[in-house]
């Protein structure tokens, strides 16, 4: 029976079922060579020429991710999530118009607001959860890309991927989805109509806070996708072989981690929704969340591993609570096995859409009750 007969989950666990031919090892090796021997006819029958555009260890991780995302064009790994995302925008032509969400990963939003114009790209920011606003922002013939993020960091807005794809395609544009905070375990945007999926693979795809990486997965091997491939090749934005090896390790346990993290996030959401010192919880799994119905229709098996809480005592209560936790770690990033807490407005600075009483929580795989008790004690100590 071929590997194709098994579920994506099983195939990911076994790194596509490959066995290292020389030793019979079940763990994929690390290929670190930067250059390769030419054939007698001066060709490269092996398919490898040089380490900047390609690497066998990187290919293995890309194949696992492409399989998980159900991406016909395949997947590409980059040296960071920002490198992956900005490559998509730089594959456009000067004068092209793009539409992006008001609530999105802050560093990318800042790049679009400050750097995109240098590449001749015109950007409009809209509320991506408002389909009328999204449709109204389209400039048929000029709009070439619609970018959405769902769930959107750090307010966890939910955009309708199917509807956004329809709006983009009707205007002659492509839809790209930042699915970092969902992962292919929960959402597969290409199956919902997206053209490109982006991940900060630093986060839950790797899951161990020891790799910086980005990823793109494509629905079609068309001219635009080949332009993205060419930019990565020429500029050397590929991930290194050791990082690719670690990412493959992370992908092998992705399903287990995401399932545990989603279950714990839901538990914490319910507990903090009733907490006297919490004025609000932002999480798509709540029935009264504005995007709950959409999330339920496009997310499978959970509503994500990220949530935010708003401290009833305002900014100082939020900052004070983050300072007093013992189990949660005060650190930037998300998706790792360890739970992280962050006063996000302090990080993003002026212009952030993030309320100053908000704490962003990345839920790891610790005991959910321990996580609750730790933050509960920190909130109460701050009050006292």
Question: Residue 203 catalytic?
Answer: yes
DSSP 342-384: E-HHHHH-TT-SS-TTEEEEE--SS-HHHHHHHHHHHHHHHH-
In angstroms, the CA 369 to CA 115 distance is 44
Domains 3-252 and 255-383 share a fold: no
C-beta neighbour count of 139 within 10 angstroms: 15
According to the model, what pLDDT value does residue 46 have? 87
DSSP letter for 78, please.
E
- Classify burial at 154, counting beta carbons within 10 Å of its beta carbon; exposed 0-12, middle 13-18, buried 19 or more: buried
pTM of the predicted protein model:
0.95
In angstroms, the CA 195 to CA 173 distance is 10
328: nearest Cα among 274, 282, 273, 379: 379
Domain ranges across the chain: 3-252, 255-383
For 97, 178, 206, the CA distances from 86, given in Å and listed in that order, are 15, 12, 21
According to the model, what pLDDT value does residue 1 have? 47
Catalytic residue, from 11, 109, 174, 203: name it. Answer: 203
Q: Taking CA 340 as the corner, what is the angle to CA 335 and CA 344, rounded to the nearest 5 degrees?
A: 100
Q: What is the CA radius of gyration of the chain?
A: 21
Digits of tens for pLDDT over the chain (384 positions)? Answer: 457 788 988 998 898 888 888 888 898 889 999 999 998 998 888 888 898 999 999 999 999 999 999 999 999 999 999 999 999 999 999 999 999 999 999 999 999 999 999 999 999 999 999 999 999 999 999 999 999 999 999 999 999 999 999 999 999 999 999 999 999 999 999 999 999 999 999 999 999 999 999 999 999 999 999 999 999 999 999 999 999 999 999 999 999 999 999 999 999 999 999 999 999 999 999 999 999 999 999 999 999 999 999 999 999 999 999 999 999 999 999 999 999 999 999 988 888 889 999 999 999 999 999 999 999 999 999 665
In angstroms, the CA 213 to CA 353 distance is 26
* Class of the CATH domain delimited by 3-252: alpha beta
Give the sheet arrangement for strand 358-362, strand by strand.
278-282, 306-311, 358-362, 340-342, 329-330
CATH architecture of 255-383: Alpha-Beta Complex (3.90)
Secondary structure of residue 66 in the 3-state scheme: helix
In angstroms, the CA 289 to CA 218 distance is 30
Catalytic residue, from 160, 178, 357, 374: name it. Answer: 178
According to the model, what pLDDT value does residue 2 have? 58
According to the model, what pLDDT value does residue 351 have? 82
In angstroms, the CA 27 to CA 57 distance is 11
In angstroms, the CA 342 to CA 319 distance is 8
Nearby residues of 285 by Cβ (< 8 Å), 6 or more positions away: 265, 266, 269, 292, 295, 302, 303, 304
Nearby residues of 5 by Cβ (< 8 Å), 6 or more positions away: none
According to the model, what pLDDT value does residue 217 have? 98
Question: Residue 105 catalytic?
Answer: yes
DSSP 200-224: -TTTTTT-SS----EEEEES--SHH
- As beta bridge partners, residue 199 has 215
According to the model, what pLDDT value does residue 157 have? 96
Mark 196-224 as b/e (b = at least 16 C-beta within 10 Å): bbbbbbbbbbbbebebbbbbbbbbeeeeb
- In this structure, what are the phi and psi dihedrals at residue 315, rounded to the nearest 5 degrees? -60, -45
Catalytic residue, from 18, 52, 270, 324: name it. Answer: 52
Catalytic residue, from 105, 245, 283, 372: name it. Answer: 105
According to the model, what pLDDT value does residue 373 have? 98
């Amino acid at each position: 029976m071929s590997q194709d007969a098994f579920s994506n989950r099983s195939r990911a666990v076994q790194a596509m079922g490959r066995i290292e031919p020389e030793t019979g090892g079940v763990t994929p090796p690390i290929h670190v060579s930067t250059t390769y021997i030419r054939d007698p006819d001066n060709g490269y029958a092996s398919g490898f020429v040089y380490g900047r555009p390609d690497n066998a260890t990187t290919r293995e991780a890309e194949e696992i991710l492409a399989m998980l995302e159900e991406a016909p064009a395949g997947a590409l790994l980059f040296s960071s999530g920002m490198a992956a995302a900005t490559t998509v925008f730089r594959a456009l032509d000067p004068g092209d118009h793009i539409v992006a969400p008001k609530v999105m990963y802050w560093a990318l939003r800042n790049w679009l607001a400050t750097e995109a114009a240098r590449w001749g790209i015109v950007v409009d920011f809209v509320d991506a959860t408002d389909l009328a606003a999204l449709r109204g922002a389209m400039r048929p013939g000029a709009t070439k890309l619609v970018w959405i993020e769902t769930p959107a960091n750090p307010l966890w807005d939910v955009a309708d991927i199917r509807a956004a794809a329809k709006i983009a395609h009707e205007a002659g544009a492509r839809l790209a989805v930042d699915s970092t905070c969902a992962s292919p375990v929960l959402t597969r945007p290409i199956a919902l109509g997206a053209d490109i999926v982006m991940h900060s693979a630093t986060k839950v795809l790797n899951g161990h806070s020891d790799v910086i990486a980005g990823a793109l997965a494509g629905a079609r091997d068309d001219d635009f996708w080949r332009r993205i491939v060419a930019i990565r090749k020429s500029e050397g934005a590929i991930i290194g072989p050791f990082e690719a090896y670690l990412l493959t390790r992370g992908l092998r346990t992705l399903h287990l981690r995401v399932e545990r993290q989603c279950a714990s996030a839901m538990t914490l959401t319910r507990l903090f929704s009733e907490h006297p010192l919490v004025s609000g919880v932002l999480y798509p799994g709540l029935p009264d969340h504005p995007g709950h119905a959409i999330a339920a229709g496009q997310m499978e098996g959970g509503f994500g591993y990220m949530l935010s809480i708003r401290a009833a005592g305002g900014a100082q209560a939020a900052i004070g609570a983050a300072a007093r936790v013992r189990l949660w770690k005060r650190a930037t990033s998300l998706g790792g096995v360890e739970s992280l807490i962050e006063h996000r407005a302090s990080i993003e600075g002026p212009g952030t859409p993030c309320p100053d009483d908000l704490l962003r929580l990345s839920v790891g795989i610790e005991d959910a009750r321990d996580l609750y008790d730790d933050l509960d004690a920190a909130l109460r100590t701050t009050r006292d």
